[in-house]
Amino acid sequence: MSLLLDSADSDITPTAGEPAATAGLPQRTPAWVRERLIARDEIALIDLREEDPHAQAHPLFAANLPFARIELDAWSKLPNLGAPIVLFDDGEGLVERAAATFRHLGYRDVARLAGDLDGWRDAGYELFRDVNAPSKAFGELVEAELHTPSLAAEEVQALIDARADVVIVDARRPDEYQTMSIPTATSVPGAELVARVRALAPDPATRVIVNCAGRTRSIIGTQSLINAGLPNPVSALRNGTIGWTLAGQRLDQGQTRRAPLDLQTPPTPEARAAARRVADRAGVRRASLADLERWLAEPGRSTYRFDVRLPEDFEAGHLPGFRNLQGGQLVQETEMHAPVRGARLVLADPQGARADMTASWLAQMNWEVHVLDDVPAAAFSETGQPPAPAAPVEPPLGPDDRIDPATLQAWLAADPATRLLDFTTSANHVARHIPGAWWALRSRLAHALVTVPAGNRYVLTCGSSALARHIVAEVRALTGRPTFLLEGGNAAWFAAGLPTEAGDARLASPRIDRYRRPYEGTDNPREAMQGYLDWEFGLVAQLGRDGTHGFRPLRLRD
């Protein structure tokens, strides 16, 4: 684990056994990165900043891997230790220390983007806003080139009021649907649409309307049904729940309507055949378990494995080594889960249709994507959710560095100079935390410690202490005080039934760890929602100026 200090503290010596800041870190020019993206050669362009600054401006295919989480997430997000990794920040002083951590974890090709974010901007290259920009820009390109049909919120409300023969399907995750939904809508997550909509609208005359929160998933969902040859008239709800809200129309909350999605209701042969045809036309490749085993042994390629079914299907039985990510979310959030652009994606689905439809979109987004075929049912042998990949290098913490909740409670009561630092997400901290805890960002640790009153000793926690364990040595080095880890983190304290509190009274860092999406929740300002739509409308022009994407929407005549 690397010692992460603000630049002003760079004279502090790392703890024994930990890497110093990388000397002579190689640099890659923006032009080199851009050429590699265009050529579809593997590259992971990593933005080390927190999510909110990342969302303000970044290159199109920059993946956000915040500095604080490298030890936790690198192993699953960057499976090939030889993949070229190019790091950048925006003057926060994170790159060299992050490079040291990556190298300590075994990554062999780590470099800095010359000039960091300013270098990309100064080269005249395009910067994008928001999160999941590649998928959202792709969705806008699909609508622009294929003329995906859509209906305005007022038109859909009129159909509902008239009790017209219409079925509204919500393509988001079920939890998003439950937060807010269009009246009468049924939850059918995106990858399930082709497999399930025929059961909801068996009459070809029934109009099907697909919605999401904004635009992308409704466009992709609508076009999926069109591409698969659904005979019904199909339209997207233009601008999703944002457009519905801006039209002054009421949203439902807490709804539970779901299409038949269980294992006992497999896609019909007709739906499976339709999905297969679309995948074949899009250039999706086929693979066997033997192919996958050979690819995983290749030292020069990154291979990601995704099971694109719903969590309950995945937990009932899945292939070892596969991660569960619903197909619609994989299309929406590809760079979050597969940060190596140019990597190989392998999808699994024993019932076929969901993997084929998901893969068809990933292929159109210029990914090399394979669907596993002819996998015996017995191979789906693992059950439940697999544990997160273990960090390849654990910090050197001994038994004396760890305390339990009872000890922490006693210390807090006996010594008011015991300082508790909480590194969970800011949202979790504000909702509930241990009394007296200060919330801090690892990426701004030195600044946070200036804000927190000096203590005689420090105790670190987070949700489970998986992250906090990597920060103990850093706090100890910066403060010169005894520093301890709360074993089991906040979860252990809560499970013990000890007191809690809520609120933002002790924030030692700015709440920039998460970008507030204008399409989430029910209390977003109208100007934020309209601004988001205006940004989406401009994405096609941005794609044209950027020129690195290689997107190729599938036309029905292709």
Of the candidates 104, 127, 150, which is a domain's last residue?
A: 127
pLDDT of residue 233: 98
The stretch 81-96 carries a mean pLDDT of: 97
Q: Are residues 248 and 286 in the same domain?
A: no
Listed residue (479, 482, 415, 484) closest to 452, CA to CA: 479
Q: Are residues 287 and 365 in the same domain?
A: yes
Q: Are residues 150 and 81 in the same domain?
A: no
Residue 262 has pLDDT above 60, yes or no: no
Q: Which of 2-11, 243-252, 258-267, 281-290 has the lowest mean pLDDT?
A: 2-11
The stretch 539-551 carries a mean pLDDT of: 97
Q: Are residues 165 and 251 in the same domain?
A: yes
d(CA 3, CA 471): 8
pLDDT of residue 253: 95
d(CA 463, CA 492): 9
Q: Are residues 53 and 98 in the same domain?
A: yes
Q: Are residues 249 and 151 in the same domain?
A: yes
Q: Which of 41-45, 75-79, 356-360 has the lowest mean pLDDT?
A: 75-79
Of the candidates 261, 284, 311, which is a domain's last residue?
A: 261
The answer to whether residue 33 sits within a structural domain is: yes
pLDDT of residue 17: 34
**Selected residue with higher pLDDT from 75 and 264:** 75
Q: How confident is the model at residue 23 (pLDDT cuts 50, 70, 90)?
A: low
Q: Are residues 114 and 230 in the same domain?
A: no
The answer to whether residue 391 sits within a structural domain is: no
d(CA 299, CA 315): 30
Q: How confident is the model at residue 326 (pLDDT cuts 50, 70, 90)?
A: very high
pLDDT of residue 531: 86
pLDDT of residue 261: 58
**Selected residue with higher pLDDT from 387 and 251:** 251
Q: How confident is the model at residue 390 (pLDDT cuts 50, 70, 90)?
A: low
3-state secondary structure 507-536: ECCCCCCCCCCCCCCCCCCHHHHHHHHHHH
Q: Are residues 155 and 253 in the same domain?
A: yes
Range of the structural domain that residue 443 is part of: 399-495
Tokens in use for 357? 């439809």
In this structure, what CATH number is given to the domain that contains residue 325? 3.40.250.10
Contacts of 188 (CB under 8 A, 6+ apart): 169, 170, 171, 196, 197, 200, 258, 259, 261
Contacts of 115 (CB under 8 A, 6+ apart): 30, 122, 123
- Average pLDDT taken over every residue of the chain: 92
pLDDT of residue 431: 98
The answer to whether residue 29 sits within a structural domain is: yes
pLDDT digits (tens, 9 = 90+) for 131-147: 999 999 999 999 999 99
Residue 2 has pLDDT above 80, yes or no: no
Listed residue (507, 483, 324, 495) closest to 424, CA to CA: 507
Q: Are residues 256 and 220 in the same domain?
A: yes
Report the SS3 class of residue 87: strand
CB atoms within 10 A of CB 391: 18
The answer to whether residue 511 sits within a structural domain is: no
Residue 308 has pLDDT above 80, yes or no: yes
Residue 393 has pLDDT above 70, yes or no: yes
DSSP assignment of 228-255? TT--S-EEEETTHHHHHHHTT---B-S-
Tokens in use for 433? 């935390």
Q: Are residues 141 and 226 in the same domain?
A: yes
Query: Residue 49 gets which letter from DSSP?
Result: S
In the chain, the N- to C-terminal Cα span, in Å, equals 51
pLDDT of residue 391: 59
Q: Give me the phi and psi of 222, to 5 degrees please.
A: -60, -45
Of the candidates 473, 495, 517, which is a domain's last residue?
A: 495
DSSP assignment of 481-495? S-EEEETTHHHHHHH
Among the residues of 69-132, which ranges form H helices? 70-77, 95-104, 116-122
The answer to whether residue 507 sits within a structural domain is: no
pLDDT digits (tens, 9 = 90+) for 428-442: 999 999 999 999 999
Q: Are residues 308 and 420 in the same domain?
A: no
The answer to whether residue 194 sits within a structural domain is: yes
Tokens in use for 98? 């992050």
Q: How confident is the model at residue 525 (pLDDT cuts 50, 70, 90)?
A: confident
Task: Indicate the number of domains in the chain.
Answer: 4
Q: Are residues 140 and 256 in the same domain?
A: yes
Residue 282 has pLDDT above 70, yes or no: yes
Does an H or E element contain 377, and which? none
The answer to whether residue 349 sits within a structural domain is: yes
Task: State how far the alpha carbon of 129 is from the alpha carbons of 37, 362, 372, in Å.
Answer: 19, 21, 35
The stretch 37-42 carries a mean pLDDT of: 97
CB atoms within 10 A of CB 412: 18
pLDDT of residue 9: 32
The answer to whether residue 254 sits within a structural domain is: yes
pLDDT of residue 472: 97
pLDDT of residue 524: 75
